[in-house]
Amino acid sequence: MKYLSGLLLLLASAQLSAEIISVKASGQGANLETAIDAALVRAVEQVSGVSIDANKTSIKSLTRDNEGTEFNSASVNGLQKQAAGKIKSYQVMSEQCDDQGCQVQVIAKIERSHHELRQEKMKQQNKNRRTIAVANFSGSKGKQLSTELEGLLVKDRKFSVLNDTGSANLDYIIEGKMLTAATHKKVVDKSRTVELTGEYIKDVKTYYSSKVVVEFKVIDLVNDQVKWSDTITTTSSRANLSYLLELTAKKAFDQLKSNIYPLVIIKGDDNSIMLNSGGDTVKEGEIYDVFSAGQTIIDPTTGESLGAVERKIGQIKVTSVLPKLSYATLIKGDIDAVATKQIARKAKAAPVKRKSRKASKSKPKAEPESPGIVL
């Protein structure tokens, strides 16, 4: 009895994990059977998609049994087609045959498994993500830097990062060259002997200087244009070349993200403020300026969008970072002026003010409006 109950439960769960879809399709063939087969092939294509092998073949696989018709592959019009789907049942709605062959129209009920539904959901989630790939940077330590940059893009979850730099599905590709990636060591020996006492004083100091210089560019493959290029220099007075490579990759990532996918504000019903990014791309304690987008600026010569006029409305500080989003609090501005879809850009460090003998009395300047950049 327990075995029977378990079997019934298993069958019920299997049915719940699948979906039955009714599809109307038509087909042609030399006879009625081949016309029906062609129609069933097209029905499965509509539901599960299809890949076509241009090599002509006569292979056909439409297996019928008591559970339905299992379609794996078929030759239609001389092309080998691959797809997957179980046809639970079908009904021929119309048929017409003559000396040239037969034409039919069918309604097929096709089963989609839980696995197929889950894959479709994943595809829909990635549908609006722009695809990008990072080519190995040339020069010393170039591969390490490109790996660091690729890791940041993956963790950001805004891009579909592809391994194949030659994929036809790519929107952007990042290329670069390491100009400098080295640590220099300098030893200064000022050891000496005191003439009066004969005492030997050892005074040896070691100094390090590390430097990373990289040039990179972002290529828009859709429009065959270089959308962004820059040279980044990072220096240190320590022997920490690996850390400098991480910092350089982060600088390149921040530039790329700011131009393609700038951070966007999400405002909750309780006036809570969130950023649509988290993980390693946003750090707790960072300060961001918040901008509202105004009029779109169009280049009168090319007709291309140059971005939108941005007006600074406040400043926020990141208080908590989660894998996919971050929480922040408003430290400057009016909370009522903050709204969802406004842009957040990392605030520049304030310059150190030097004390002057005479304090000049000047009126505060209004915050200027600046055009944003949208690739």
Phi-psi region of 120 (alpha: psi -120 to 50; beta: other; left: phi over 0): alpha
- For residues 142 and 218, membership in a common domain is answered with yes
Asked which of 208, 243, 260 is the last residue of a domain, the reply is 260
CA separation for the pair 323, 279 (Å, rounded) = 4
Asked which of 196, 228, 260 is the last residue of a domain, the reply is 260
**CA dihedral over 280, 338, 159, 122, signed as positive or negative:** positive
CA separation for the pair 194, 147 (Å, rounded) = 54
- For residues 304 and 205, membership in a common domain is answered with no
Spatial CA neighbour of 59 closest among 72, 75, 83: 75
- For residues 252 and 202, membership in a common domain is answered with yes
The DSSP 8-state label assigned to residue 366 in this structure reads P
Tens-digit pLDDT string for the chain (375 aa): 544 444 444 444 444 456 778 889 899 999 998 888 888 888 877 776 543 333 333 333 444 445 544 444 443 343 334 445 577 788 889 999 998 899 999 998 887 767 666 766 666 666 678 899 999 999 999 999 999 999 999 888 788 899 999 888 899 999 999 999 999 999 999 999 988 888 999 999 999 999 999 999 999 998 888 888 999 999 999 999 999 999 999 999 988 887 778 889 999 999 999 999 888 778 899 999 999 988 888 888 877 777 778 899 999 999 999 988 999 999 999 999 999 999 998 888 766 566 655 555 555 454 444 444 444
Spatial CA neighbour of 62 closest among 47, 48, 77, 76: 76
- For residues 220 and 275, membership in a common domain is answered with no
One-letter amino acid for residue 74 of the chain: A
- For residues 234 and 284, membership in a common domain is answered with no
- For residues 116 and 136, membership in a common domain is answered with no
Which residues have CB under 8 Å from 65's CB, separation 6+?
A: none
- For residues 244 and 144, membership in a common domain is answered with yes
251-260 burial, b at 16+ Cβ within 10 Å, e below that, comes to bbbebbbbbb
- For residues 211 and 321, membership in a common domain is answered with no
300 within domain boundaries: yes
335 within domain boundaries: yes
DSSP H helical ranges for 27-113: 32-48
354 within domain boundaries: no
- For residues 136 and 248, membership in a common domain is answered with yes
Residue span of the structural domain in which 87 resides: 19-51+80-127
Name the domain count of the chain: 3
pTM of the model: 0.55
CATH number of the domain enclosing 226: 3.40.50.10610
CA separation for the pair 14, 10 (Å, rounded) = 6
CATH number of the domain enclosing 338: 2.40.10.410
